[in-house]
């Protein structure tokens, strides 16, 4: 997978394109920024996971903070995720 390339906008300022990455494609990725989209789920034992159609990754939300916003059901916000 290639990193996103900068492109020129009509006003001359550069704009960055982002590409979504499947969770399974994160295997072996260290020190790079990737954009992911998934659902945060919580098991009965209290553990949290980020899931997409390709995989599920365990999350440590012990230092996560809630923020103002619109939440549905038992939705929670994870503003930043650190992968081991």
Domain segments of the chain: what residues? 6-59
pTM of the model: 0.57
pLDDT at position 72: 66
Core vs surface per residue 37-52: b (16+ CB within 10 A) or e: ebebeeeeeeebbbeb
pLDDT at position 77: 52
57 has a pLDDT exceeding 60: yes
Which distant-in-sequence residues (6+ apart) come within 8 Å of 75 by Cβ? 40
Query: Hey, which residues does 57 pair with through a beta bridge?
Result: 50
pLDDT at position 40: 86
> Within 10 Å of residue 64's Cβ, how many Cβ atoms?
16
Query: In the structure encoding, which two tokens stand for residue 34, read together?
Result: 């990737």
Mean pLDDT of 65-76: 69
């Amino acid at each position: 997978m290639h990193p996103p390339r900068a492109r020129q906008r009509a006003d001359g300022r550069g704009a960055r394109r982002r590409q979504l990455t499947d969770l399974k494609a994160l295997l072996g990725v260290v020190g790079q920024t990737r954009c992911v989209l998934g659902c945060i789920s919580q098991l009965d034992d209290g553990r949290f996971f980020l899931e997409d159609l390709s995989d599920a990754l365990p999350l440590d939300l012990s230092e996560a903070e809630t923020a103002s916003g619109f939440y549905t059901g038992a939705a929670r916000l994870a503003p930043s995720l650190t992968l081991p």
